[in-house]
Structure 1
């Protein structure tokens, strides 16, 4: 992993939403899509700035000009939905035990992800969470599912029996 490239990127992810322009940077929304059928994304960050998979959050700053070799550090927490069924609220002891089980099942991951080259037009950053803990990002302005959108994987993809070796190399797991 090229640590130098990862640490250069936080310079372009400073501050909150700054509007349409901020010096040599432009601000945009941070949003995500979960393509995994059986796991939920509890939260994610890009270089420490939070996004969500249920709409847009503010903000990410992108350099006006793409930088060759640009990468971001994406961190996220997954709910594998393996906990026992919800016991209800009437028995506090059962509820507390269930809540502890749910939290213990969450898994945290991180991956260094390349930022595809962009030109004059860019609209924040969209993070796509794929099976096998693979992650892709894009800065395009068109919406997911439109003909020219660069990420074509469908939503609700099942986890394959065997994940690509590259996914394991580029993704770290952290029990959370």
Structure 2
């Protein structure tokens, strides 16, 4: 009798394993992964940025940053998909900050005064269409704390890139609301 119970348990275990494996069969994945890149069209440094919690690099004024793996997006694009972009700016990235007498460490008061000018921004941005492939998500930081996204395999500044704004954009005297 105990031998029958052992055989029955083995059959259930094998059957359960087959069911689990059937759930792992290849098919359409729920998400696609791509690199996370950024393009800064402004004179402020981007100290960091995040897209839906995925971290991106710092970007110098009028510069590029990225190739960070990875950002995850739904495998099937649909209208109305939006992403949350958060970033921190340093409006005076080339300002000399007083150092301590050791020459290596920053004076805490001077550093705190500099960091008090950092800006923290958030934007909810519509995700542009993409097909079955996601090469990268490219985040463009524009004047007036605006953001544009590209999912094109053509990276900026390629003429085929969907983003056409120039790299060296100036902040207007007043920003539109």
**Range into which the TM-score falls when normalised by the shorter chain:** 0.7 to 0.9
How many residues are treated as equivalent by the alignment? 144
Q: Which residue of 2 aligns with 1:137?
A: 149
TM-score (normalised: structure 1): 0.74
**Mapped partners of 1:82, 1:30: distance in 2:** 23
Unaligned runs of 5+ residues in structure 1 are 1-20, 166-176
Partner Cα separation in structure 1 for residue 142 and residue 87 of structure 2: 12
Asked if structure 1 preserves the Cα contact closer than 8 Å seen for 2:41 and 2:143, the reply is yes
1:50 to 51, 55, 75: 55
User: How far apart, in 2, do the equivalents of 1:103 and 1:142 lie?
Assistant: 35
Query: Which position in structure 2 is the counterpart of 1:77?
Result: 88
What is the DSSP-based 3-state SS (H/G/I as helix, E as strand, rest coil) of the residue aligned with 1:102? helix
Q: Pick which of 113-122 and 140-149 moved more.
A: 113-122
Aligned to 2:113: 101
Change (3 A) 1:84 1:101: farther
| Larger-gyration structure (1/2) | 2
- Choose the corresponding residue for 2:75, options 53, 64, 83: 64
C-alpha RMSD of matched pairs (Å): 2.3
CA contact (8 A) 2:45 2:93 kept: no
Dislocated runs of 4+, deviation >3 Å: 82-85, 91-94
Deviations 1:7-36 (A, max 9, x none): xxxxxxxxxxxxxx9822211111111100
Given the two structures, how large is their TM-score scaled by the length of structure 2? Answer: 0.73
SS at match of 1:55: strand
